[in-house]
């Protein structure tokens, strides 16, 4: 284990703004003196409590307030949860971005969509390169993951070296020469690692990483047995798995269709960067599917998680223009059931089965997918190789972080030298040790269409309210001078009742509003000092009515017109 530099040096700050206490939205800030280095810039996808939101990015107000101190952004790999927020965060920082070839290709397509291509200085870094960024010497160490060209980072500072693993596993036979560089990790461990910050996502899984070769062997076993159309659904960034499917299809005389925009883009990037070779004439256009026998065609598709509007979901719903499933076809979900997505995925499986397709997935064929995250034995090996003085678990929910911390203690790290942090914590490391040193502004920013940050918690509350209890619009016509009700209210409901079958109920609601306007504020229990108008009386009357009659609290929108 590394002894701290005995010379007087400035402390190292470690500030997570995303990715701790959650899966996704990874963003870590390292501080040396007054200068800041950002590692990763990811997003996460919404769940049921954020209706209408496209995705969520970290609150980077701390970085914006200190933008003159930010040196660069370094991206470990090309997954959305590590680089997807860059087009939204970079304009406020405008610093160089260091990344590998695959990541650079993905980012170029993303930046083009946001009219930022050519404006963001993308600096290509090859695995094994060392880059000096201010006081930080950053070494890009190859690691295997479910996307090619992923790197761990050795970040050397005047105080010592920190290893930031990024997402990784340890696969000795991934199907290409790019394996996790255990030699370099061990060399850093021999020379001394001050702190290890390690991926915790799969700490709950026993054993070691199953090789991508196992998935390849499973595909090579399953695909030749398919008598109809073969569909393989996977993550569009998993180029190793795409390569395996292409090889098996080619060996079995099947033409291949790439189905999904992100898949087409990522394959194009991988081919351009030399990560993927495709045999001539293997790929065909989706519109040519009917020009070939069904048992001679294989579709590689996105949508393995049942994402709304994804290519596979459109196929399962019978809404895809060219691809239709028939009895005898087979769909292979060559991906993990991500926690939280199980219900959506099973719904997709049910729809595929209803069309007559056989569905193969990790639950009925466990060898059809290999996780990109290190299970316990790999995490222990990382600890054993690097032999850090201090340990900080990253990338995971709180239960993952605590389990990983306990694992580090089992491996001999003193408990006082481990720390479970969460987003916004400010950690400080100096000659006296590692400790929490307050918090910085942090949180989640919602991206909805072209709006970034304009969807607040109050807006989400209203959306949830609308989705749960519906809405009632009340139109009233009153005399301009006296405020006397002349007509109405006319009631329009959405998500409350079916109006054609509930006219008696709506008539009773209208009478409740009329009675409230006749009695005035005291009749509706308003305080004597409150300023109460027709809108307030209408809202309270309708809320009370629908709560009493239906047990619901719809959103009430009164529209008052004066004549």
Catalytic residue numbers read 199, 373
Q: What are phi and psi of 276, to 5 degrees?
A: -145, 125
Q: What is the dihedral of CA 106, 140, 407, 417, to 10 degrees?
A: -120
Reading the block at residue 224, the tokens are 């030749």
Q: Rounded to an integer, what distance in angstroms lies between the CA atom of residue 84 and that of residue 96?
A: 16
The answer for residues whose C-beta is within 8 angstroms of residue 108's C-beta and 6 or more apart is 117, 122
Helix, strand, coil shares of the chain as percentages rounded to 5?
35, 25, 40
**Phi-psi region at 525: left, alpha or beta (left = phi > 0; alpha = psi -120 to 50):** left
Q: Rounded to an integer, what distance in angstroms lies between the CA atom of residue 290 and that of residue 131?
A: 52
Helices (H), 225-272: 239-251, 261-272
Q: Rounded to an integer, what distance in angstroms lies between the CA atom of residue 27 and that of residue 500?
A: 52
- DSSP state string for 116-163: -TTTS-EEE--TT-EEEETTEEEEEEEEB-SSSSEEEEEEEETTEEEE
Reading the block at residue 254, the tokens are 């099947």
The answer to whether the beta carbons of residues 405 and 413 sit under 8 Å apart is no
Total Cβ atoms within 10 A of residue 172? 12
Q: Rounded to an integer, what distance in angstroms lies between the CA atom of residue 9 and that of residue 492?
A: 69
The answer for residues whose C-beta is within 8 angstroms of residue 308's C-beta and 6 or more apart is none
Distance of CA 499 to the CA centre of its chain: 40
Q: Rounded to an integer, what distance in angstroms lies between the CA atom of residue 284 and that of residue 255?
A: 7
């Amino acid at each position: 284990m590394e002894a701290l530099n005995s010379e007087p040096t400035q402390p190292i700050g470690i500030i997570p703004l995303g990715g701790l206490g959650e899966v996704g939205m990874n963003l870590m800030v390292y501080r040396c003196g007054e200068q800041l280095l950002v590692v990763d810039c990811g997003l996460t996808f919404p769940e049921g409590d954020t209706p209408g939101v496209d995705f969520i990015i970290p609150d980077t107000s701390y970085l914006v307030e200190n933008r003159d101190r930010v040196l660069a952004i370094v991206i470990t790999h090309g997954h959305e949860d590590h680089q997807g927020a860059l087009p939204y965060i970079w304009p406020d920082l405008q610093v160089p971005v260091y990344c590998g070839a695959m990541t650079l290709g993905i980012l170029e397509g993303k930046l083009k969509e946001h009219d930022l291509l050519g404006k963001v200085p993308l600096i290509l870094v090859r695995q094994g390169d060392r880059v000096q960024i201010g006081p930080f010497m950053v070494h890009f160490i190859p690691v295997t993951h479910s996307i090619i060209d992923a790197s761990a980072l050795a970040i050397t500072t005047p105080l010592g070296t920190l290893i930031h693993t990024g997402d990784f596993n340890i696969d000795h036979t991934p199907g290409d020469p790019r394996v996790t560089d255990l030699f370099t990790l061990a060399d850093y461990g021999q020379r001394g690692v001050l702190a290890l910050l390690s991926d915790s996502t799969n700490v709950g899984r026993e054993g070691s990483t199953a090789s991508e070769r196992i998935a390849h062997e499973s595909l090579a076993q399953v695909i030749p047995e398919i008598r109809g159309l073969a569909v393989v659904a996977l993550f569009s960034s998993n180029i190793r798995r795409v390569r395996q499917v292409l090889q098996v299809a080619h060996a079995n005389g099947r033409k291949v269709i790439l189905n999904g925009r992100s898949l087409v883009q990522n394959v194009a990037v991988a081919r351009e960067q030399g990560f993927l070779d495709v045999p001539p004439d293997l790929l065909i256009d989706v519109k040519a599917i009917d020009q070939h026998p069904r048992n001679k065609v294989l579709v590689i598709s996105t949508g393995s998680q049942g994402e709304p509007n994804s290519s596979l979901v459109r196929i399962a719903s019978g809404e895809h223009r060219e691809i239709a499933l028939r009895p005898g076809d087979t769909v292979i979900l060559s991906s993990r059931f991500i926690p939280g997505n199980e219900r959506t995925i099973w719904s997709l499986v049910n729809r595929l089965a209803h069309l007559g397709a056989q569905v193969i997935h990790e639950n009925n064929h466990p060898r059809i997918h290999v996780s990109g995250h290190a299970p316990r034995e790999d995490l222990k090996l990382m600890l054993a190789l690097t032999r850090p003085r201090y340990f900080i678990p990253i990338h995971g929910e709180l239960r993952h972080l605590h389990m990983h911390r306990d694992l580090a203690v089992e491996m001999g790290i003193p408990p006082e030298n481990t720390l479970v942090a969460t987003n916004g914590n400010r950690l400080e490391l100096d000659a006296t040790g590692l400790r929490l040193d307050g918090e910085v502004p942090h949180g989640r920013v919602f991206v909805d269409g072209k709006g970034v940050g304009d969807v607040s918690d109050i807006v989400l509350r209203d959306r949830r309210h609308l989705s749960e209890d519906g809405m009632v619009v009340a139109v009233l016509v009153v005399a301009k001078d006296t405020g006397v009700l002349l007509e109405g209210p006319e009631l329009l409901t959405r998500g409350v009742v079916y109006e054609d079958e509930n006219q008696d109920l709506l008539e009773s609601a209208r009478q409740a509003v009329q009675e409230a306007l006749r009695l005035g504020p005291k009749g509706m229990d308003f305080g004597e000092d409150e300023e109460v108008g027709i809108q307030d009386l209408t809202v309270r009357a309708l809320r009370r009515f629908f709560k009493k009659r239906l047990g619901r609290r719809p959103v009430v929108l009164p529209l008052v017109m004066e004549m």
